[in-house]
Structures are given as structure tokens and as C-alpha cells.
Structure 1
Amino acid sequence: MTSARSDRWLRLDGTTNTRDLGGLPTTDGGTTAFGRVLRSDNLQTLSDDDVRRLVGELRLRDVVDLRTTAEVLLEGRGPLRSVEEVTHRHFTLLPERGHHTDVFAVEEDELPDLPADWVETVLPRQTTEADEVEPPAVRAYLGYLHHRPENVVAALRALADGDGDGAAVVHCAAGKDRTGVVVMFALAVAGVPDEEIVADYAMTAEVIDDLVAKLRESPTYAEDMSRRDVASHTPRGETMRRVLELLRERHGGPLGWLDAHGFGAREQAALRARLR
């Protein structure tokens, strides 16, 4: 395996899109630290060796899961769920039907009844009317900020408040859209310039063929993966560039949006310290 210190990709048996947020330049001439925060696709298929590396070598202590309740329950308990040292937190960025208890606070004995159109419940494409002129991916990302701002902030708080000596991983299904938005805010707080944030977001394109193939093997995601071609799943730099541009126009930038939603200077300083 290539060292994460010379290659930000973390090559695991059970994931396709895991990388370290360390090694990125900041506007004040510094760099983000390795081994603090990882971003990833779904962790359900980690091997025993993956778990040993993550928990033993990287000291993974916090998992921030951005999937919907339906995704979590349909996919079932992943191998990290049985590791006592690892804390799991769940903050869906998509609207959900009905009331759901935190699936990591209680155990579900049986899969609950899901609506006939459960695929739309798993991955609903919710946007706002004011953003209909924007490209689909931009609309979706702005939809997270409109419909679930409290969970965007909660995910960042979980990253800031985690075990200071250990690592955290933030993930969704593919590790590109929901994860990409939370990571964008985290890197902005750390002082990473826009173009580096855009480049980090676009890195998923390097593994998109393998990533889509992996998700097609899961009954939870197969339909969503198959009804669109790989090109439509591929992240493009201009998408994140446009989101950053709109945040600047509307809020003065990502930090302004965070300030407006209760993630102020003290919490931003804590997250910056975690990443730096």
C-alpha cells in the first residue's frame, strides 16, 4: 500500500473512495494534518484487515454517517458497528418521511415497513424552487442546505468534537455528494482555498467506474446506479465551484453560511484545530 502521507487515497479492501483530508495547503501557508479526518463511501463491506488498519493504525474513533435512515437499515450493521472504541453518529442530509429515531441510539430488531416507492425515500432529489435554474447537482447540494441545515452543522460539530487523538471518517453511500458538501465546509473552515476544495471534490472522478460498479452490487443502490449512466454520476469541478460561488453571493462564503446557522467562531476554531 502507498503511504497516505505521499498519497491521500487510503486503499481498503471494502471501500473505493476513501481518502485523507491531510496534506492540503491553506491560505496562510500551512497544511491540513493527516490522520484527523477521512472521507469515504459506504463502510458496510470493510474487511477484517480494513477494520484493523482503521481502528488500530489510524485510531479511527468517530464515524459520521450522512445516509438516510432507510439506507442504514436496508444495508444493515457494518463491521465497525461492533467495535467498542468507535462512536457512530447519524445525520441524514436528505428529507425523510415520518419520524425516525437515531438508528445508532437504538437497535432495530426488524426492518420497518417502507413505502412502495422506497427508492425515492432512500435517495430523494429535493431542491428549492429558487434554484431550478442551476444544474442538477448544484440544485441537489443547495437542497441539503435548505432542507437539512441543522444536520450539516451537526455533522461538522461531530467532526470538531471527536476524539482529539483519533481519526474521524465522514461518509455517505458514494462519498461524493453529501460527503462532498460537508467536507467543503470543513475544508473552508480549515482555511483551504476554493480551488483546492474543488480539486478534492473532483478526485472522486478518478474512481467513479469502480465506485458505480460497487454500488450496483447492493440491492439498496442498484436501481439508482443503473437508471443513470456513469457520466451523470461523475463529479465535476464546476459543480463545487458554482456552489462556492453561490455561497459567497448569498452568505459571504461558506463561513458566513455557518455563522448564520449557529456554527460560529468558537466551533469553527475547534474544527480548524482538529484539521490543522
Structure 2
Amino acid sequence: MIAPAGSVNFRDVGGLSAGPARVREGVLFRSGNLARLEPAGTAAIGDLGIRSIIDLRDDDEVTHAPSRLAGLELAVHRVPLFLGSVESFFTRDLSLEEMYRALIDDSAASIAEVVRGIAGGSPVLVHCTVGKDRTGVTVALALAAAGVDEDAVVADYARTESLLPAARNRAVVTRLKALHPDAVHLEELATRSPASVMRGMLAYVADRHGSATGYLRDSGLTAAELTELRGRLLGV
């Protein structure tokens, strides 16, 4: 598919393998922010049939970069994922592994709310600012819990790195280095999505909860909702 004009890191996760099945196309989309959509891009969001958007950004992010969705008939659900600001992760100079573990441990109820939205509302677009970390973690957990093959979940996450424009990365890293000159993990946090990090996150979840399904169940999803998630994404 051609990404909507002005979108960031936009894609349909349809086609990922799940044993003998595959994720249905046109059901779950993911992206970065929608603040620079061109008019044709906004129209394309509607043409894709998206009827629900789950925005994982905090209030400051939304105020700074409001989505361009005027004229579309869809519902926008705000589920801010970070406890604290995005800026705090650069200030604390966390690694990606540490940031994802913080998300898993501290934002379980919110992650469950997002996955519940994926299960109950179709077609749905999940996005944050870049579509890499909050979106990457949440979508990965939803896919894994639905039965998508781990290699496919990891590959979808890792794909983000190839979809972030080099010019964008240079500009972001330059700005952040001016603010946090001593940060060690800054470039990784801002621009990278290594397969090894996602594989490690899934192992972290499995070690503590048995599986992504166990994590979501422990976070508040019911067996019926998890069955609905699988049916929504895989049609089985």
C-alpha cells in the first residue's frame, strides 16, 4: 500500500504470518503522528476505512502537533502511555530495553486498554509520535497475543528503522543532543528499532507472565476479549 501523504511510519500490519493463518489486511494500522498529513493524506485515511484511532501521545505532544483529521467520520481515543513525559526518558538516558520494561511494568492497564480497542474496533489505527516505541510495544503485544509468529512480530517492529527518513533522524538527533549532550542512548531512543530489543522484550514478558496473552490477562483483559482479538486480527 502507498502511505497517506504526509504520514510518518505508516503501515497496515496485514499479511503477517500466524502459523497457517495470516493477519487480515485493512484491520490494524500503525503509524507515527498525523500532524503533517496533506489533504490527500487525510482523505486517504478515510478511504482506507479506518473508523477508530488510538492516540498514545501525552497532552503536550497533542497540543504541539495536533492531528489533521478534519472532515473524517471516525472516533479518536486518547490513551497516553508514558507515566511522565517523553522528555523524561531522554533525561534519564534509558536504553530501549529499559524503556520498554518500564512501559510493560508501569503502563499495563493502559496497554490493555489499547489492545481492548484493537479487539473491539475495526479498522483501527494506533499511533504515537514516531510510531516506534509506544506503538511498537503495544502492537507487538496485541499481535503476539493473537497468535502471530514471533519472527513476524519482531520483523514488523524492526521495519520501523527503515521507514524513518534519514533527514528526520539527523534533525531530531541534533536537536536532542543540544538538550542532552551527555546522553549515551539518545540516538538509539530516537531512531532505532533493533530486532534484538523486541525479541528481548517478548522474552521479558514471557518470563514474568508466561506469554503476551498472560500479560494482557494479568493486565485486565478477559478470555472473551482475547478471543475477540484473535478473531479480529486473524478471522479465526
The alignment's TM-score, normalised by the length of structure 2, stands at 0.87
1:16-165 equivalences in 2 (<5 Å): 16-27=8-19, 29-55=20-46, 57-75=47-65, 77-80=66-69, 82-96=70-84, 121-125=85-89, 136-162=95-121, 164=122
The structure having more radius of gyration, on CA atoms, is 1
Letter in 2 for 1:39: R
The offset of 1:247, in angstroms, is 1.2
* 1:11 Cα deviation after fit: 2.2
Partner of 1:209: 165
1:170 corresponds, among 126, 138, 144, to: 126
TM-superposed CA distance for 1:91, in Å, is: 0.8
The total of aligned residue pairs comes to: 226
2:140 — aligned with what?
184
1:185 is matched by which residue type in structure 2? Answer: L
Aligned partners of 2:15 and 2:25 also within 8 Å: yes
Cα shift at 1:232:
6.1
Q: CA RMSD in A?
A: 2.5
Cα distance change, pair 122–234 in 1 and its aligned pair in 2 (3 A): closer
Structure 1 residues 231, 143: CA separation in 2 closer, same or farther (over 3 Å shift)? Answer: closer
Question: Identity, % of aligned pairs?
Answer: 29
Q: 1:123 offset after TM fit, Å?
A: 3.1
Measured after TM superposition, the shift of residue 208 of structure 1 is 2.8
SS in 2 for 1:38: strand
Structure 1 counterpart SS, 2:22: coil
- Relative to structure 1, the CA distance from residue 14 to residue 232 in structure 2 (aligned partners, 3 Å threshold; closer, same or farther) is closer
- Deviating beyond 4 angstroms after TM superposition, the runs of 4 or more aligned structure 1 residues are none
Among residues 239, 243, 248, which one is paired with 2:197 in the alignment? 239
SS at match of 1:125: helix
For residues 78 and 214 of structure 1, the distance between their equivalents in structure 2, rounded to whole angstroms, comes to 23
- Residue 183 of structure 2 aligns with which residue? none
8 Å Cα contact 1:16/1:211 also seen in 2:
no
Distance 2:98 2:147 in 1: 25
Output the amino acid matched with 1:74: H
Pick the aligned partner of 2:218 from 260, 265, 275.
260
Q: Which runs of 5+ in 1 are unaligned?
A: 5-9, 97-120, 127-134
The one-letter code matched in structure 2 to 1:237 is A
- Equivalents in 2 of 1:58, 1:222: separation in Å? 35
- Is the partner of 1:17 in helix, strand or coil? coil
Q: Please state which structure has a larger fraction of its residues in helix.
A: 2
Question: Structure 2: which 5+ residue stretches go unaligned?
Answer: 181-185
Whole-Å separation in 1 of the counterparts to 2:170 and 2:38: 15
Choose the corresponding residue for 1:273, options 227, 231, 236. 231
> Do the aligned residues in 2 keep the contact of 1:208 with 1:234 (CA within 8 Å)?
no
Structure with the greater relative contact order (CA < 8 A, sep ≥ 6): 1 or 2? Answer: 2
Given that 1:22 and 1:36 are in contact with CA atoms closer than 8 Å, whether structure 2 keeps it comes out as: yes
Mapped to 2, the partners of 1:87 and 1:13 lie a distance apart of 21
Aligned amino acid, residue 199 of structure 1: A
Q: Is the 8 A contact 1:16 1:210 kept in 2?
A: no
Distance (Å, rounded) in 1 between the aligned partners of 2:189 and 2:108: 28
